[in-house]
Chains A and B, each alone.
Chain A
Amino acid sequence: MSAFFAMGGYAMYVWPAYAVFFIVLIADYVNPWLRRRRNLRELRGRMARQAARQQRNPSAP
């Protein structure tokens, strides 16, 4: 097992390469998911404000 992690003496090149691969792709995948959650939360806020406005003044658009 330790031979596997040693990568024939090239561990300091092989493992960082794989780490970059996973870190960049995970960041790429999570980013739009966070953006989507934030957008929907803002939209719900807008809708709630609009509903409150309509309740105060039903004749307004």
Chain B
Amino acid sequence: MNAPARATRSRYVAPIPAFADAFTAARSSLPGKEAPAIQDWRQLHFDRFLETGLPTPRVEQWKYTNIARAANVPMALATRPNVGLGDVQRYFTGGPLARRLIFVNGHLASELSHVRGLPQGVRVESLGKLLQDEPEWSARALGGPAEPHSFADLNAAFLQSGAWIELGDGAVLEHPLQLLFLTVGQPAAVMAHPRIVVRLGKEARLHLIETHIGLAPGHCLTNLVGHYELGEKARLTHDRLQLGSAGTSFVGLNRQRLAERAELKQTLATLGGALVRNETDLHLVGSFVEAQLNGVYMPIGEEHVDNVIRIHHEAPDGHSDQFYKGVMDDRAHAAFAGKIIVHQDAQRTNAFQRNDNLLLSDDAEISSKPELEIYADDVKCSHGATCGELDRTALFYLRSRGLDRAQAESILTFAFAAEVIERFVDPAVRKLARECLVARTPGGAGLSDLL
């Protein structure tokens, strides 16, 4: 991420004044409004957001996603509509003993949430409450500005809620913790800015489920920032499911830092949302780290999905694996940019990356950019990217077994994407993802007995 220097200033567009209006309007209602520490912290980031502006496709990182067009529109902070237990229950995952924080349009719905009875050393807090109750500590803990990032800065300025998850050394949360983000479309264009902070101490273990569900269509932008710190030998399993509804957009930036022998297994499925962008900035700062990133995206209609991944191997003997698959139908457009950066000290790194894509329609598009940047010599790095139609021989095989063409195509398309879905650790997430996948597969109705 390069700071937009003077010469490249023109690649960013200045934010429209509506942002400043929204900021002024929201200041008095955002958590931590009385505390100067939080006020300053917000102002600092907002000023930088104004300074940086919004990226246009001329910025390399945003080459395939015109976010300025989608985000540089007047938006107010989303209000909290009423959502009952009946509306959300079907999205509960992680089993009966899972703990859950539920957010509606970026506001914590504490009456639906359940995080009590946590074991020793495990702390799960509402970030909004922390900003309100412990402003000085929060401002310090959330940290000052790193390098500028339009959306991360915007998130800090408008930060309203989120989760603070901290596991001390050796702490283990046996059952999954679900963060359920619900977006309920509203007549006017709105935005929400939640944040997730996860800190795992030495040998701590957490299974985090992050689900983003669109309950009603409408223009709503969710701008999520995630900070993940994994201590020595810590283990994080992270299942992420994105089921946005029509008109809802999502921009997410995840920054992860993994210490020695830490393990991360993340699986991400994007199965809905007008515009979804997931940016991942993964740093392997300790040696012998294992990181696995799985992803699947299946945009239909005019949806747009963009995955940007940067994996920094900063220490020796790290192992990273990216496995992303995409199926594009109708007029959908998907982009994948995965970059592996192996620093000079990161000898004996193993880094792999796969990106396979399937286009189902003549108007769908895929842009893939698998990238390697390597400064160490004793490494094994490889990447592969493919794009094409269904395998003719596989089709022929199925047809020779008596399936008609449409059935055979549905089965193969489903199987292509389902390979990633199977990597979800939580069975309920897997089931939910499979249902959405079937709904999006052409001729999927005939596949329901596969569920």
Does B associate with A? no
A-to-B contact residues, CB < 8 Å? none
